[in-house]
Chains A and B, each alone.
Chain A
């Protein structure tokens, strides 16, 4: 038996199959982290979406906390803000946008103010003086208090109420009192009755580290000096100040000014490290199809009550782009959007020493490409995972365990079970039928019927090649095996005179087109041309068509299959996610081997689309659906009137391939192959077969263990269970078989298990 070399763990290679820049470019396609449109439109960067979510849940305390991050005086802001967010609300495209400002006002009124400015906060050492009155000094003082700068406000007014009135005289009585209370609660020092002139300013320059002033004070004292509106600073005088009219301007100016103060206080250039400021454009994608509450809640009085505000906030559809996660069970399982997951998987490939914690997610993607189709920006998770797998193989960090069974199965398909023959009576064939390894494993009768039909109805001769196209090693990232498979297939095809390949499976077709090239058609194309054979008939009840991921982006094949189904008289039911948007059945990318749990979720998701029987055109899909208990048929079973029946277990799949080869070789080419008969009797309990299938233990493995036992007599007896237990190291694993013996030459297997670690006796 051939063997795959297990990796070592002592050497270190560094290989980058994908550059950081390329990765960043890919990650940027994912817009999940983009701000909501309302949030992006707000110069104050209010997380409107989160605030509305809290308000919708009736949690006004939390909503206010979010609002206060953007607005230290929420009632003033909500009363005077121009609300650029409201026009950007996506609901405007279908009806009324959310009344964000009115909800903000309710949140400010009914929410409980946070108590951030308490005595326990560590204050910064540098002090700030704010001179003058009005909206800008008020907001700036609020921002500086949030940043924990000891701040003193010097104003001409004689008390706090007059100071606040100079800024927000437009507030009504109750709101004014609430904001006054809020201002009193802030950790700010006030000096009233100040006469602000040059001497006063110069004295403040001496007793504080950073000096700020209202626009009025700045213009009065330095009428000739230029101000920088981006930094809110008069650099010549090292004076931070505000400009412009209106509440929003003042609030945004105060934010920029507070950042400038921050930089100046640390003796840093205020131009640098400012991050993103002001409104931006969002690249977020929002699906509006499910938006149904399109009309604004009208307040019964002048303003929203808490209950009305919550109802209005509930209309918010919480813009998020989750198109891929809605459709892909793999992304749903890991609860990570592809931008983040890709970054983590990329980092996983870069780890030289330490745990590769993302191996499992990297190997759980089916590489089906559905995300690329459903993503508004074409994010290609399959590419990320496929490159990452190859990268891990290049650095010898890829564990063999998740893929070894599948790879060994491929070696079996292209070894013991492989066959390639010209049609009897021909010295050269125009075609070669390549049904694919899964078709021979799952529906050998169908393969035989299809081959005989092609031989009969096609002119020029049809050769037969039973083997694997190489998709298995491609999916596993084993690029060296992929290359050797390509060379092997090229040689075999050349022996047949390089005929046109008739693929029986869309994934084989795709893989072969990329590897060996040449002219390749699908058997569905041929059947379209030559028509259905006699006796072909569809199902007598409506069925759902599952498009294979191998045919994604291949409208021609998808159409040919539909046309075949129509000719067979099958009534197809429409399903969500069909055609290019079809999900994977769970077999692709070797997920079924590397991560059976995720594979089951993927299969279940694919089956959620319809309760009808499923018709597929890839044998692996047929098998996955049948294994989950759904009536599942490959379209060729309908074409040839065969029924592959219940899904075979892993040993039967191998047996089927060998039997098909043996049968065809004998019947068509009169070649006899060695008998596979054992010289003893071997039975399995049902439980043993079930365990073996789940644990990926073949009957061949069991036979190897028992052969060894018969030769060496090495085994133990467990007197508790009365079972004998023998073992043998086969390739990279040790297999243990629990059995009973009846007479010399009859055994019943009760169980089997394996481990990859090698165990040896230790002396001393």
Chain B
């Protein structure tokens, strides 16, 4: 089974809020998918509507480097 990776921690907890549901985001299960590959990850998720948040530093850091690695496969 693939290892779940957590690249982001909500600090302090509760600092991110879902505007639609008016509840704090919590650590939740999500999946990145790209070019027929899937990666289970843990990301801030709204416990009510399921909005998955990808923070900027993650998108431009780890996510971008994995994208580039997959693109050249």
Q: What is A's interface to B at a CB cutoff of 8 Å?
A: 6-10, 354-357, 359, 399-401, 712-720, 724-725, 727, 734, 736, 738, 751, 753-764
Query: Does A761 lie within 8 Å of B50, measured CB to CB?
Result: yes
Neighbouring A residues of B33 by C-beta, 8 Å: 757-760
Query: Does B32 lie within 8 Å of A761, measured CB to CB?
Result: no
Q: Chain B's nearest CB lies how many Å from the CB of A743? A: 16
Chain A residue nearest to B67 (CB atoms) is A756
Q: Mark B13-36, 1 if CB is under 8 A from A, else 0.
A: 011111110000100111111111
Chain B residue nearest to A398 (CB atoms) is B71
Given the complex of chains A and B, what is the CA–CA distance between A3 and B16 in angstroms? Answer: 33
Chain A residue nearest to B40 (CB atoms) is A762
Query: Chain A CB within 10 Å — which of B36, B45, B69 has the most?
Result: B36
Query: Does B16 lie within 8 Å of A753, measured CB to CB?
Result: no
Given the complex of chains A and B, what is the CA–CA distance between A146 and B16 in angstroms? Answer: 72
Query: Chain A CB within 10 Å — which of B29, B37, B46, B59 has the most?
Result: B59
Query: Known: A355-B73, A755-B63. Is A764-B29 also a contact (CB below 8 A)?
Result: yes
Chain B residue nearest to A712 (CB atoms) is B20
Query: Does B71 lie within 8 Å of A714, measured CB to CB?
Result: no
Contact of A714 among B16, B17, B20, B31 (CB under 8 A): B20
Neighbouring B residues of A760 by C-beta, 8 Å: 30-31, 33, 52
Query: Does B56 lie within 8 Å of A736, measured CB to CB?
Result: yes
Neighbouring A residues of B56 by C-beta, 8 Å: 736, 738, 751, 753
Query: Does B16 lie within 8 Å of A716, measured CB to CB?
Result: yes
Neighbouring B residues of A359 by C-beta, 8 Å: 71-72
Query: Does B35 lie within 8 Å of A7, measured CB to CB?
Result: yes
Query: Known: A356-B73, A720-B15, A757-B32. Is A715-B66 also a contact (CB below 8 A)?
Result: no
Query: Does B20 lie within 8 Å of A713, measured CB to CB?
Result: yes
Query: Does A759 lie within 8 Å of B15, measured CB to CB?
Result: no
A–B complex contacts, Cβ < 8 Å, 16 sampled: A8-B35, A716-B44, A716-B46, A717-B19, A718-B15, A719-B14, A725-B53, A727-B54, A736-B54, A754-B59, A755-B60, A759-B33, A760-B30, A762-B29, A762-B31, A763-B29
Query: Does B72 lie within 8 Å of A357, measured CB to CB?
Result: yes
Neighbouring B residues of A755 by C-beta, 8 Å: 54, 59-60, 63-64, 67
Chain B residue nearest to A695 (CB atoms) is B60
Neighbouring A residues of B71 by C-beta, 8 Å: 359, 399-401
Given the complex of chains A and B, what is the CA–CA distance between A7 and B34 in angstroms? Answer: 10
Query: Does A759 lie within 8 Å of B16, measured CB to CB?
Result: no
Query: Does A9 lie within 8 Å of B31, measured CB to CB?
Result: no
Query: Does A762 lie within 8 Å of B30, measured CB to CB?
Result: yes
Q: Is the CB of B51 closer than 8 A to any CB of chain A?
A: yes
Q: What is B's interface to A at a CB cutoff of 8 Å?
A: 14-20, 25, 28-37, 40, 43-46, 49-54, 56, 59-60, 63-64, 66-73
Contact of B72 among A399, A738, A753, A762 (CB under 8 A): A399
Query: Chain B CB within 10 Å — which of A715, A734, A757 has the most?
Result: A757
A-B contact count (CB 8 A): 107
Neighbouring B residues of A725 by C-beta, 8 Å: 53
The majority secondary structure among interface residues of chain B is mixed
Q: Chain A's nearest CB lies how many Å from the CB of B8? A: 12
Given the complex of chains A and B, what is the CA–CA distance between A714 and B52 in angstroms? Answer: 11
Chain A residue nearest to B34 (CB atoms) is A757
Given the complex of chains A and B, what is the CA–CA distance between A354 and B16 in angstroms? Answer: 40
Query: Does B36 lie within 8 Å of A758, measured CB to CB?
Result: no
Given the complex of chains A and B, what is the CA–CA distance between A716 and B29 in angstroms? Answer: 17
Query: Does A713 lie within 8 Å of B34, measured CB to CB?
Result: no
Given the complex of chains A and B, what is the CA–CA distance between A359 and B66 in angstroms? Answer: 15
Chain B residue nearest to A751 (CB atoms) is B56
Q: Chain B's nearest CB lies how many Å from the CB of A400? A: 8
Given the complex of chains A and B, what is the CA–CA distance between A716 and B56 in angstroms? Answer: 13
Neighbouring A residues of B53 by C-beta, 8 Å: 716, 725
Chain B residue nearest to A721 (CB atoms) is B15
Given the complex of chains A and B, what is the CA–CA distance between A346 and B28 in angstroms? Answer: 45
Chain A residue nearest to B49 (CB atoms) is A714
Given the complex of chains A and B, what is the CA–CA distance between A357 and B72 in angstroms? Answer: 7
Query: Known: A751-B56, A759-B32. Is A9-B16 also a contact (CB below 8 A)?
Result: no
Q: Chain A's nearest CB lies how many Å from the CB of B68? A: 8
Query: Does B20 lie within 8 Å of A9, measured CB to CB?
Result: no
Chain B residue nearest to A348 (CB atoms) is B72
Query: Does A758 lie within 8 Å of B16, measured CB to CB?
Result: no
Query: Does A753 lie within 8 Å of B34, measured CB to CB?
Result: no
Neighbouring A residues of B45 by C-beta, 8 Å: 761
Chain B residue nearest to A400 (CB atoms) is B71
Query: Does B36 lie within 8 Å of A9, measured CB to CB?
Result: yes
Given the complex of chains A and B, what is the CA–CA distance between A424 and B28 in angstroms? Answer: 62
Q: Chain A's nearest CB lies how many Å from the CB of B22? A: 10
Q: Chain A's nearest CB lies how many Å from the CB of B23? A: 10
Given the complex of chains A and B, what is the CA–CA distance between A719 and B12 in angstroms? Answer: 10
Neighbouring A residues of B36 by C-beta, 8 Å: 8-10
Q: Chain B's nearest CB lies how many Å from the CB of A692? A: 13
Given the complex of chains A and B, what is the CA–CA distance between A144 and B62 in angstroms? Answer: 57
Q: Chain A's nearest CB lies how many Å from the CB of B37? A: 7
Other 20 A-B pairs with CB < 8 A, given A719-B17, A755-B54: A8-B35, A9-B35, A9-B36, A10-B36, A354-B73, A355-B73, A399-B72, A712-B20, A714-B20, A727-B54, A734-B54, A751-B56, A755-B60, A756-B34, A756-B67, A759-B30, A761-B45, A761-B50, A762-B30, A764-B29
Chain A residue nearest to B19 (CB atoms) is A715
Given the complex of chains A and B, what is the CA–CA distance between A756 and B40 in angstroms? Answer: 16
Query: Chain B CB within 10 Å — which of A7, A718, A720, A724 has the most?
Result: A718
Chain A residue nearest to B18 (CB atoms) is A716
Query: Does A9 lie within 8 Å of B52, measured CB to CB?
Result: no
Query: Known: A399-B71, A736-B54. Is A753-B60 also a contact (CB below 8 A)?
Result: yes
Q: Chain B's nearest CB lies how many Å from the CB of A448? A: 39
Neighbouring B residues of A716 by C-beta, 8 Å: 16-19, 25, 44, 46, 51, 53
Contact of B52 among A718, A759, A763 (CB under 8 A): A759
Given the complex of chains A and B, what is the CA–CA distance between A418 and B60 in angstroms? Answer: 34
Q: Chain A's nearest CB lies how many Å from the CB of B48? A: 11
Query: Does A759 lie within 8 Å of B31, measured CB to CB?
Result: yes
Contact of B54 among A715, A719, A724, A759 (CB under 8 A): A759
Given the complex of chains A and B, what is the CA–CA distance between A713 and B28 in angstroms? Answer: 21
Neighbouring A residues of B54 by C-beta, 8 Å: 727, 734, 736, 755, 759
